[in-house]
C-alpha cells in the first residue's frame, strides 16, 4: 500500500492548489523575454509602432520628449510596457500547473518507477512463501488423513501441526502488511477452527462427529477448497494493483459458516 501514499498526496495537492492562469504564470517570463539583450530593440520598435513612444534606439524609447531606458519606461508606464511586451513575447497555451504540482509530477513518476518493481518483487516473494507453506500443509494433511483412514493406529500430529503453524504465520504476515485487505484474517481463522484446524486430530472415535469415511471425504474437500482460496490470495500478492478491489471489498466465504469473520491477527489456540 505504500506506493499509494505519494499518489494520494499528489491528487490532494492537485485538488487544493488554486489553478494558475497562463497570464499570471507568464508575467515574469514575458518581462524576462522582452528585456533580454537580443529582444530589446524589437521591444523599442514595437513601442513606436503601437504609438506608445515617438522614437526609439536599440535600448531605449522616447516618451513625452524624453529618452528613457526600457527599465525606466516599465516603471513609469507599466501598462504601455506590458502591451508592447505582449506583442512580441511568445504566447503560452492553456493553464499552467501550480508550481507544487509541477514539482510533484516528476517526483511521483520517479518514485513509482522505483517502487513498483520493488513492490512486485516483494509480492512475488511473499506469494512464493505462501504457496510453499500451503503445499506443505496440504501434503501433511493428506498424509495424516491417509493414516487415519487405515484405522490401524492413531497418526502422529506433529508434522501436521508444524505445517499448519507455518501456513498460519504466512497468513498473519500478509494480514499485518496489508491491514485493509479482507482475505488473510478469515483464511487464518478457518485454518485454526475449520474442519481441518487443530480439532482435526480429535473426535474420530465419536460417531456423532462423523469419525468414518464421510468425515475423511469432507475434510479433504474442505482442504482443497481452502487451498484454492489461499492461491487466490497468493495471486493478489503478485498482482496487488489488479487485485486491490477484491482484497479491499470482498471476503472469502468461510469454510465453516459461508461468511468471513474477524479481521485481526489470528493465533493458535
Q: What pLDDT, on a 0 to 100 scale, did the predictor assign at position 165?
A: 96
Cα–Cα distance for residue pair 185/173, rounded to 1 Å: 10
Q: What pLDDT, on a 0 to 100 scale, did the predictor assign at position 260?
A: 39
Average pLDDT, the chain: 81
Q: Which three cell numbers stand for residue 107?
A: 517526483
Higher pLDDT, 34 or 127: 127
Cross-strand partners of 67: 62
pLDDT beyond 50 at 188: yes
The share of the chain scoring above pLDDT 90, in percent, equals 46
Domain ranges of the chain: 21-88, 120-249
Higher pLDDT, 255 or 70: 70
Q: Which residues contact 10 (CB under 8 A, 6 or more apart)?
A: 101, 104, 105, 108
Q: What pLDDT, on a 0 to 100 scale, did the predictor assign at position 228?
A: 95
For 34, other C-beta atoms within 10 Å of its C-beta total 23
Helix axes of 213-238 and 99-150: crossing angle, nearest 10 degrees: 160
Stretch among 55-69, 95-109, 125-139, 248-262 having the lowest mean pLDDT: 248-262
Higher pLDDT, 214 or 257: 214
For 9, other C-beta atoms within 10 Å of its C-beta total 13
Cα–Cα distance for residue pair 35/84, rounded to 1 Å: 12
Q: Which one-letter DSSP state was computed for residue 55?
A: E
For 21, other C-beta atoms within 10 Å of its C-beta total 12
Average pLDDT (19-29) is: 53
Cross-strand partners of 56: 61
Q: What pLDDT, on a 0 to 100 scale, did the predictor assign at position 25?
A: 45
Chain segment 229-255, per-residue pLDDT in tens: 999 999 999 998 888 899 999 988 765
At residue 17 the predicted structure's pLDDT band, cuts being 50, 70 and 90, is very low
Q: Which one-letter DSSP state was computed for residue 96?
A: B
Average pLDDT (125-135) is: 97
Main-chain dihedrals φ then ψ at residue 66, nearest 5 degrees = -115, 130
At residue 259 the predicted structure's pLDDT band, cuts being 50, 70 and 90, is very low
Instruction: Report the run of H or E that residue 62 belongs to, with start and end.
Output: strand 60-63
Stretch among 4-8, 105-109, 141-145, 152-156 having the lowest mean pLDDT: 4-8
At residue 133 the predicted structure's pLDDT band, cuts being 50, 70 and 90, is very high
Strand duo 60-63 + 66-69: pairing? antiparallel
Q: What pLDDT, on a 0 to 100 scale, did the predictor assign at position 97?
A: 58
Helix axes of 158-177 and 99-150: crossing angle, nearest 10 degrees: 170
For 178, other C-beta atoms within 10 Å of its C-beta total 21
For 73, other C-beta atoms within 10 Å of its C-beta total 24
At residue 92 the predicted structure's pLDDT band, cuts being 50, 70 and 90, is low
Chain segment 200-222, per-residue pLDDT in tens: 988 887 666 555 678 999 999 99
Higher pLDDT, 177 or 23: 177
Cα–Cα distance for residue pair 131/210, rounded to 1 Å: 30
Q: What pLDDT, on a 0 to 100 scale, did the predictor assign at position 226?
A: 96
Q: What pLDDT, on a 0 to 100 scale, did the predictor assign at position 261?
A: 40
Q: What pLDDT, on a 0 to 100 scale, did the predictor assign at position 102?
A: 65
Of 132, 116, 79, 105, nearest in space to 14 by CA: 105
Average pLDDT (37-55) is: 90
Q: What strand order describes the sheet that includes 60-63?
A: 55-56, 60-63, 66-69
Amino acid at each position: 500500500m505504500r506506493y499509494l501514499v505519494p499518489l494520494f498526496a499528489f491528487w490532494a495537492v492537485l485538488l487544493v492548489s488554486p489553478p494558475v492562469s497562463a497570464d499570471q504564470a507568464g508575467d515574469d517570463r514575458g518581462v524576462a523575454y522582452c528585456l533580454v539583450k537580443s529582444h530589446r530593440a524589437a521591444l523599442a520598435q514595437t513601442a513606436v509602432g503601437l504609438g506608445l513612444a515617438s522614437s526609439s534606439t536599440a535600448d531605449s524609447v522616447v516618451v513625452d520628449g524624453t529618452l528613457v531606458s526600457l527599465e525606466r519606461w516599465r516603471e513609469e508606464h507599466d501598462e504601455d510596457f506590458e502591451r508592447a511586451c505582449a506583442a512580441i513575447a511568445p504566447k503560452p497555451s492553456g493553464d499552467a500547473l501550480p508550481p507544487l504540482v509541477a514539482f510533484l509530477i516528476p517526483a511521483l513518476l520517479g518514485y513509482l518507477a522505483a517502487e513498483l518493481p520493488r513492490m512486485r518483487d516483494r509480492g512475488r516473494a511473499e506469494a512464493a512463501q505462501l504457496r510453499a507453506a500451503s503445499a506443505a500443509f496440504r501434503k501433511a494433511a493428506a498424509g495424516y488423513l491417509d493414516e487415519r483412514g487405515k484405522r490401524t493406529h492413531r497418526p502422529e500430529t506433529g508434522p501436521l501441526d508444524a505445517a499448519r503453524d507455518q501456513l498460519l504465520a504466512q497468513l498473519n504476515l500478509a494480514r499485518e502488511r496489508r491491514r485493509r485487505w479482507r482475505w488473510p484474517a478469515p483464511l487464518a481463522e478457518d485454518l485454526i477452527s475449520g474442519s481441518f484446524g487443530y480439532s482435526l486430530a480429535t473426535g474420530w472415535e465419536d460417531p456423532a462427529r462423523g469419525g468414518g469415511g464421510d468425515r475423511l471425504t469432507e475434510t479433504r474437500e474442505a482442504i482443497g477448497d481452502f487451498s484454492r482460496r489461499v492461491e487466490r490470495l497468493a495471486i493478489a500478492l503478485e498482482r496487488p494493483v489488479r487485485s486491490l478491489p477484491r482484497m479491499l471489498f470482498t471476503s472469502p466465504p468461510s469454510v465453516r459458516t459461508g461468511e468471513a469473520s474477524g479481521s485481526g491477527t489470528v493465533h493458535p489456540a
